[in-house]
Amino acid sequence: MSDDVTGEVTRAARPGGSKRVLHQPSIKDIAKLARVSHPTVSRALQYSPLVNAKTAEKIRKIAEESGYRASAVARGLVTRQTRTIGLVVTTVADPFTSEVVSGIEQTANDHGYSVFLADSNADPEREKRVVQSFAERRVDGIIVTSSRVGALYLPMLSQMRVPIILVNDQHPGAFVHSVMICNLEGAQAVATHLAGLGHRRIAYLGDEFGYQSDAERFAGYRAALDAARIRFAPELVVHGDGKPEAAMRAMDTLLALRNPPTAVCCYNDMSALGAMRSIRLHGLRVPEDISVAGFDDLFIAAYTQPPLTTVRQPMRRMGQLAMEHLLMLISGEESAVKIKVQSELIVRESTARVKLPEPRARQALKGKRKQ
């Protein structure tokens, strides 16, 4: 079958004697104007890396000027590709997800792909149904953010025959292809930062669902305590659900302790927002009374009062990486199985040096006078 798109063609004279194709030109017409073969035009319009970049740009410019519009149906029949990607997110309202999606869409558009977006509402069964639906619609590849299914996709792969990449997989266990932030290292960095400020009562406000990201961040928190020789106190570990409301209740529990924390590491920035509100409602101040740190570095983190110390995830870049590696799988190239992305500690004004308790401060002052 030819990959030409047929239609009536007329030509009009252009300066210099060249002619411009008008009204539904075909790939043959584009090839003649560009003085290349039909397959070269087809590959260039599909953003194939097999075509020289300068030649591809020339071909696409001629196609655009001539009004060429490829038939997605005809193209799909020839290439057995639909130039579409299925993208499954837990919720479109999540600021983290929106940044990842932006990176995916940008890279997809740059390579001539369209993205179909679906919301799983953090429901594992719904997530599986959406993925299967995408596969049935013959998308060329699928990306799932914060997957609640994870390794359970393994038995589905042979049936679907569609490459899948997970971004920040939330299901413990190995998966074929994934893009993950270095959770343990990021959480360890922020807890080490708090220990370096003199804090010894450092709390961890985690995610009650016990997903992989929470387990790794908690492990980073524990590693920092061990390195600083701080005794682990189980009462300083509480859980929310990654949202401000539940984090407020969890922080209330910490503040009700006989010996409350002087600092708290939060599972994410949204939890940190809830923790900070709870602290204010108790008549306390951040960071004068309690230091607070988050994880993600959402755009709001720099605008909280005070600005939030947090761990930056390169969210848009993670989306770009996921799409780039999915394109490699689609084209039959080898791709890394598990891609780990480095995090970065961003220190702002929500963390400060711990205040010495009054009796201890007096003892220190007496010691100096004796000297």
**Per-residue pLDDT at 15:** 36
Of the listed ranges 114-128, 217-231, 310-324, the least confidently predicted one is 114-128
Amino acid found at 65: E
CA distance 115 to 168: 19
- CB proximity list for 283: less than 8 A, separation 6 or greater: none
Which residue has 């930062």 as its token pair?
Answer: 193
The model's confidence at residue 147, banded by pLDDT at 50, 70 and 90, is: confident
Q: How would DSSP label each residue in 316-358?
A: HHHHHHHHHHHHHHHTT----SEEEE--EEE--TT--PPPPPH
What three-state secondary structure class fits 150?
helix
The model's confidence at residue 70, banded by pLDDT at 50, 70 and 90, is: low
CA distance 99 to 299: 10
Percent of the chain with pLDDT over 90: 49
Higher pLDDT, 190 or 39: 190
The model's confidence at residue 14, banded by pLDDT at 50, 70 and 90, is: very low
Contact status, residue 199 vs residue 291, Cβ threshold 8 Å: yes
Nearest Cα neighbor of 278 from 316, 247, 323, 318 is: 247
The answer to whether the pTM exceeds 0.75 is no
Residue 234 has pLDDT above 80, yes or no: yes
Higher pLDDT, 35 or 364: 35
Contact status, residue 211 vs residue 171, Cβ threshold 8 Å: yes
**Per-residue pLDDT at 276:** 98
Measure the CA dihedral 309/314/315/318, to 10°: -150
Residue 42 has pLDDT above 50, yes or no: yes
pLDDT tens string 238-264: 999 999 999 999 999 999 999 999 999
The token pair at 240 is: 């929310």
What three-state secondary structure class fits 264?
strand
CA distance 66 to 312: 46
Measure the CA dihedral 364/365/366/368, to 10°: 90
**Per-residue pLDDT at 174:** 53
**Per-residue pLDDT at 4:** 31
pLDDT tens string 307-360: 999 999 999 999 999 999 999 888 877 766 788 899 999 999 999 999 866 544
Residue 121 has pLDDT above 90, yes or no: no
Which domains are seen in the chain, by residue range?
10-78 (1.10.260.40), 81-176+316-340 (3.40.50.2300), 183-309+347-358 (3.40.50.2300)
The model's confidence at residue 210, banded by pLDDT at 50, 70 and 90, is: low
Helix or strand holding residue 263 (H, E):
strand 263-266
CA distance 129 to 156: 11
**Per-residue pLDDT at 338:** 81
**Per-residue pLDDT at 368:** 43
Count of CB atoms situated within 10 Å of the CB of 129: 13
Of the listed ranges 116-130, 197-211, 259-273, 291-305, the least confidently predicted one is 116-130
